[in-house]
Amino acid sequence: MNKSVSESFMNSCRSGDTSSAMSQVERVGVNYQEVTGATGLMWAVFKGHNQLSLCLLSLPDIDVNTKSHKLGTALHWAVAAKNVDMIKIKIPLRL
């Protein structure tokens, strides 16, 4: 995989650029993990980009049980960020 595409995807997820992230997700893979084990969903949830999080959650291959090396699953990231919308409504529906 092209490293610049994967870095661009992760940066889009961190910044909440839904259009850019969704245009790159097929090339990278929705469950792509960077060196820390973090996925795009984890960053989107942590940064409060709930629209992007919902888009990623709607993809059929999303694995919400993927764990990063230190913080755990996307649900753990949501708890750490106090992202109540994703904690209460969105992520548990996919478990």
Confidence of residue 87 (pLDDT cuts 50, 70, 90): confident
Q: Give me the count of residues in the chain.
A: 95
Residue 56: CB partners within 8 Å, gap ≥ 6?
13, 21, 25, 30, 40, 41, 44, 62
Please state, in angstroms and as integers, the Cα–Cα distance from residue 48 to each residue in 21, 27, 53, 86, following that order.
15, 24, 8, 9
Question: pTM value?
Answer: 0.90
Q: pLDDT tens digits for 25-82?
A: 999 999 999 999 999 999 999 999 999 999 999 999 999 999 999 989 999 999 999 9
